[in-house]
Structure 1
Amino acid sequence: MNLRLQPVQIATGSPDGESQLVFNEGFLVAVLVRLSDLHGDKVGMWFLEAGFGRVNDPDPPLFADLDEAEAWIMSRLA
Structure 2
Amino acid sequence: MTLTLQPVRVATGSDEEGMLVFDAEQRLVAVLTQLGDQYDGLSGHWYLEAGFGCLEARDQPTFADLEAVQEWIRQRLAKGR
For residue 3 of structure 2, what is the aligned residue in structure 1? 3
For residue 26 of structure 1, what is the aligned residue in structure 2? 26
In the alignment, the residues of structure 2 paired with residue 65 and residue 13 of structure 1 have an alpha-carbon distance, to the nearest angstrom, of: 22
- Equivalent position amino acid for 2:20 in 1: L
How many pairs align?
Answer: 77
The TM-score normalised by the length of structure 1 is 0.96
Report how far residue 13 of structure 1 moved. 1.1
Identity value in percent = 55
Compute the RMSD of aligned alpha carbons.
Answer: 0.6
In the TM superposition, 1:40-51 aligns within 5 A as: 40-51=40-51
- Equivalent position amino acid for 1:47 in 2: Y
Name structure 2 gaps, 5 residues minimum: none
Query: Deviation per CA, 1:4-62, whole angstroms, max 9, x where unpaired?
Result: 00000111111x10000000021000001000001111100000000000111111111
Displaced runs of 4 or more, over 4 A? none
The TM-score normalised by the length of structure 2 is 0.92
Greater strand percent: which structure? 1
